[in-house]
Amino acid sequence: MDKNRQVLTIIVLFLAVSAILSIIQISITVNKTPTSGSVSFPDTAPGVAIVQLYGPITTSGESAAFSNVKGSDAIVEHLDRLENDPKIKAIVIRINSPGGTVAATQEIFRKITEIRQKNIPVVASMSDLAASGGYYVASGCSYIFANQGTITGSIGVIISSPSLKGLFDKYGISMNIIKSGRYKDILSASREMTDDERELLQSVIDSTYKQFLKDVSLGRNLPIDEFREYADGRIFSGTQALEYKLVDEIGTYSDSIKKAKEMAKLDENSPVYKEPVSPFNQFLGSIEGRLSFMNGAIAPVTKSLVEYRYIQ
Amino acid sequence: MIEAIRTLRWADYLYCLLFDNERLAVLLEEGKPFLPATVVFPILHALFLILTVSTLKRENSSLFFVKLSYGFFSLALFLLLLEVIKASLASFALSLMKVTPDTLRIFSILNLASFPRLFVLPITVFLVSIHPVYTAPGLLAATSFSVLNIVSIMFAVRSVAFLHKISMMKSFASTIMPLFITGCLLFFIATGSFMIMFYAISQYL
């Protein structure tokens, strides 16, 4: 067996040598690889933070369990953390939203203006859609980027409710309503709206609309008269919005990051801090997204809320 | 331990695994104290697999060190567990065939049978050194890995047959088929669970 043992020892030595060679080869290529990758150590250098504002803006966000659509509460909380984080020198808000409820939109707007007051530049980067409440939020930022094809504008307020009186009459359905005041069942679907009610709602809409104009004027540092003519609910492409001074520049997401670094006087290579999303939630969120598409899911019939929202 | 390595008895086992399976059965019956040491082969297999995969692509330094520490530990544990499951399934199948199984020795044979799989690393190192475009060596390495797996299975089946003095067909049926059936069952259970989960989420949405 001695000869066989020698042969096997040589084979094992050959395997060991190949393992060493492989480690050397990996070490050589490792040195050539930049350090960015799937696993990296946390960065602590001053940099730019990214905040995503996706989907309809509501206070608590969409009900989907793993959706990345967050409510205004979560966004304000996140902005709060960034505001108090010493390494965050600028913020980029990536917007892809048709707008949403009034209070939720205004809360995000106020938070952004607070951050700006602390001399932290906030740059808005509009994606496909930044209309109505989406634009409201963007108008609070220090600088706005839009793509040529971004749908924006839709400055206005809307409230809607279905009128099902005809349907109720057809099927002999009636509602028993006991109310404490004449306007308590305003927007009831079971009857036609009265002129008084219409007037009352119009006054609410007008007041909210005025606030919208005031905030856009404040955020953009633009007199209301300069854009009132276009603030009739119409939408604009990114290029048109630039013409009407509703955005500052046509540019991409990476342009907005560059601008944020420039405004914060940061180095070009300074880090970009994205919102941490666990891979598990990312995976489940993507499944959820696919399933909702398969089911032909549509936005739920909204309750009668006053909204800054662009309705497609 | 160093003494045990110096005696070169392990070389006899490996030589017999590759060239004389009948003698391996005899060696295994004689050398019970050596049997637990065979776990070193699945552990080496785990290390060589990680090195092979890392050789095939440009590796990020931090990712490589994570692979070499946590990755190696987890993979080695997984491969060892897999060998234990394989040995248990083979013993169960043998007892169904009214053959008295020797589970510890089957486990040792399966561990030793990992040895041919180690050759995937020198093959890959050779392929990468002659052809630095990563996709071509990757394909060839995957092919050689499959071939080495078949060789490894062949050695295991032959050795189990000699150890229990049964036909090759019976040995094949006891060593490979239970694992294949279990694998298929697990696949269907996993697919079914996934479909139920999809259905549940779609109902929820």
Question: What are the structural domains of chain A?
Answer: 2-27+46-156+194-309 (3.90.226.10)
Which of A111-120, A145-154, B79-88, B120-129 comes out lowest in average pLDDT?
B120-129
Please indicate whether, in this complex, the C-beta atoms of A287 and B201 are within 8 angstroms of each other.
yes
pLDDT at res. A129: 93
Name B148's Cβ contacts closer than 8 Å, sequence gap at least 6. Answer: B116, B117, B119, B120
Is residue A41 within 8 angstroms of chain B, CB to CB? Answer: yes
Instruction: Identify all chain A residues contacting B118, using CB atoms and an 8 Å cutoff.
Output: 15
Q: Is A188 a catalytic residue?
A: no
Closest chain B residue to the Cα of A9, Cα to Cα: B11
User: Which of B17, B26, B30, B61 would you mutate first to test chain A, the one with the most A CBs within 10 A?
Assistant: B61
- E strand or H helix that includes residue A16: helix A2-32
Does A258 participate in catalysis according to the annotation?
no
Which amino acid is located at A58 in the chain?
Answer: T
CA distance A201 to A199: 6
Name the helix (H) or strand (E) containing A232: none
Q: Check B122 against A41: CB less than 8 A apart.
A: no
Radius of gyration of chain A (CA): 27
Three-state DSSP state, A59: coil
Tell me how crowded residue B146 is: count the other CB atoms within 10 A of its CB.
11
- pLDDT in the model for residue A290: 54
Most B CBs within 10 A among A2, A3, A5, hence the mutation to make, goes to A5
Average pLDDT rounded to a whole number, residues A174-194: 90
Contacts of A297 in chain B (CB under 8 A): 205
Any CB–CB contact under 8 A between A9 and chain B? yes
Q: Which of A233, A207, A202 is nearest to A131 (CA)?
A: A233
Rounded-to-5 percentages of helix, strand, coil across chain A = 45, 15, 40
ipTM score for this prediction = 0.78
Question: Closest by alpha carbon to B42, among B139, B128, B90, B111?
Answer: B111
Q: In chain A, how many H helices and how many E strands?
A: 10, 10
- A298: enclosing H helix or E strand: none
Chain B, nearest residue to A18 by Cα: B122
Report the alpha-carbon distance of residue B49 to residue A12 in Å, rounded: 16
Separation CA A111–CA A106 (nearest Å): 9
What integer best gives the mean pLDDT of chain A? 84
Give burial (CB, 10 Å; 0-12/13-18/19+) of A169: exposed
pLDDT at A40: 46
Predicted local distance difference test score (pLDDT) of residue A294: 47
**Residue A118 reports pLDDT greater than 50:** yes
- A33/B198 touch (CB, cutoff 8 Å), yes or no: no
Q: With H, G, I as helix, E, B as strand and everything else as coil, classify residue B153.
A: helix
Helices marked H in chain B: 2-6, 9-19, 21-30, 40-56, 61-66, 72-96, 103-112, 120-130, 135-164, 168-175, 177-204
Surface of A (221-240) touching B: CB under 8 A: none
pLDDT at A90: 95
User: Which one is catalytic: A18, A22, A60, A184?
Assistant: A184
Calculate how close chain A gets to B152, using CA atoms only, in Å: 16
CA of A234 to nearest chain B CA: how many angstroms apart?
33
DSSP string over B16-51: HHHH-HHHHHHHHHH-GGGGGGGGHHHHHHHHHHHH
pLDDT value of residue A137? 95
Residue A28 forms contact with B (CB below 8 Å): no
Q: What is the pLDDT of residue B33?
A: 61
Which residue of A6, A11, A21, A22 to mutate against B (max B Cβ within 10 Å)? A22
Res A301: pLDDT: 42
Query: What's the rounded Cα separation, in Å, for the pair A57 and A137?
Result: 10
Inter-residue long-range contacts of A78-83, CB under 8 Å, 24+ positions, other chains counted:
A78/A51, A78/A275, A79/A51, A79/A108, A79/A111, A79/A112, A79/A115, A80/A111, A82/A49, A82/A51, A82/A115, A83/A114, A83/A115, A83/A118, A83/A120
DSSP state of A260: H
CA distances from B188 to B179, B184, B192 (A): 14, 6, 6
Q: How far is B20 from chain A (nearest CA, A)?
A: 11
How many residues are listed for chain A in this entry?
312
| Residue A1 clears pLDDT 80, i.e. is over it | no
Q: At A152, is the pLDDT very low, low, confident or very high (cuts 50, 70, 90)? A: very high
Q: Which of A72, A97, A127, A132 is catalytic?
A: A132
Q: Is B122 on the interface with A (CB under 8 A)?
A: yes
B201 Cβ neighbours under 8 A, 6+ residues apart: A287, A288, A291
Instruction: Report yes or no: A93 and A125 within 8 Å, Cβ to Cβ.
Output: yes
Residue of A103 and B31 predicted with greater confidence: A103
pLDDT for the residue A288: 54
The pLDDT of residue A36 is 45
What's the average pLDDT block by block, 10 residues per block, for chain B (205 residues)? 67 80 79 73 91 80 77 92 91 89 87 89 86 73 89 89 88 88 92 89 73
Q: Is the pLDDT of residue A250 over 90?
A: yes
Phi, psi of A226 (to 5 degrees): -70, -25
Could you tell me if B47 lies within 8 Å of chain A, comparing CB atoms? yes
Instruction: State how far the Cα of A35 lies from the Cα of A49, in Å rounded to an integer.
Output: 20
Cα B197 versus chain centre, distance: 32
What distance in Å separates residue A62's CA from the closest CA in chain B?
Answer: 11
CA–CA distance from B112 to each of B12, B153, B159, B175 (Å)? 12, 11, 10, 14
Say if A298 is an interface residue toward chain B (CB within 8 Å): no
B27 and A CB contact within 8 Å: no
The per-residue pLDDT for A59 is 85
